[in-house]
């Protein structure tokens, strides 16, 4: 009977240890998942902003873009015609 109680205590300790480890792993998984979700949301927001910026740039007439590019290439960035 003594051996049985000793084994039972060992198993009980192992079970408690595994439960604690399992709880820690669940917490780590939750934190990793939350971080991943935040990263995905941030990336989606950046992509949306990028697409909106491209749309805005497409509305600028090409001659304006060329004039601006020419001014900045010649060092006249702040010059106004």
The pLDDT averaged over each successive group of 10 residues in the chain (81 residues) is 85 95 94 90 96 94 88 65 49
pTM given for the model: 0.51
Cβ atoms of 77 and 71 closer than 8 Å: yes
CA–CA distance, 62 with 65 (Å, rounded to integer): 5
Classify 60 as helix, strand or coil.
coil
At residue 29, the pLDDT reads 92
At residue 78, the pLDDT reads 53
């Amino acid at each position: 009977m003594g051996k049985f109680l000793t084994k039972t205590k060992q198993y009980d300790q192992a079970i408690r240890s595994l439960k604690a480890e399992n709880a820690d792993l669940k917490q780590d998984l939750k934190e990793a998942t939350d971080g991943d979700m935040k990263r995905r949301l941030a990336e989606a927001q950046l992509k949306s902003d990028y697409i909106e910026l491209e749309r805005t740039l497409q509305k600028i007439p090409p001659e304006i873009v060329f004039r601006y590019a020419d001014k900045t290439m010649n060092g006249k960035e702040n010059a106004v015609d």
